[in-house]
Amino acid sequence: MRIFRKPKSGEVIAQGGMQIADGILRRCGFHEMRLPEQYRWWRLPKGLGRPEEKTRATRAAVVLRAAGFLIDLDPALYDRETERRLQELLDQEPWPAASPENREKSAFSGRGEQAVDARLGFRH
């Protein structure tokens, strides 16, 4: 999965991944886009400002990595403090990795989605 800024438009985009990544991206503030039905990507809303874009992109990358995904995060979107804070939370106890057996379920199955969201700072 790749998270990057489009050079011409400046939009922050996430591409790739599987269905399990959709919920994580949504909870990190990304919006699903389609053109046509076969082509899907995720983007952050316009007008967030660079600091918030970096926070959300880094949050998505950290949580997706914790779920077992390989992530290519544009270095210009990386926020060290966001990663440090989230990594501390993730290190408190083990998280189930995305495996062929659980990719159809939530990456955090059995933990209660709302509790996990609150723990990781997701907004609804």
pLDDT given for residue 94 in this prediction? 57
**Cβ-Cβ contacts under 8 Å for 77 (sequence gap 6 or more):** 3, 4, 5, 12, 53, 54, 57, 58
Distance CA 120, CA 22 (A): 16
End-to-end CA distance of the chain: 23
Question: 19-45 burial, b for 16+ CB within 10 Å, e for fewer?
Answer: ebbebbbebbbbeeeeeeeeeebbbbe
User: pTM of the predicted model, to two decimals?
Assistant: 0.76
Condensed to tens digits (0 to 9), the pLDDT of residues 37-93 reads: 778 899 999 999 999 999 999 999 998 998 888 999 999 999 999 999 988 887 776
Nearest to 2 by CA among 55, 86, 75, 66: 75
The pLDDT tens digits for 90-122 are 777 655 554 444 444 444 444 445 555 566 665
d(CA 31, CA 44): 6
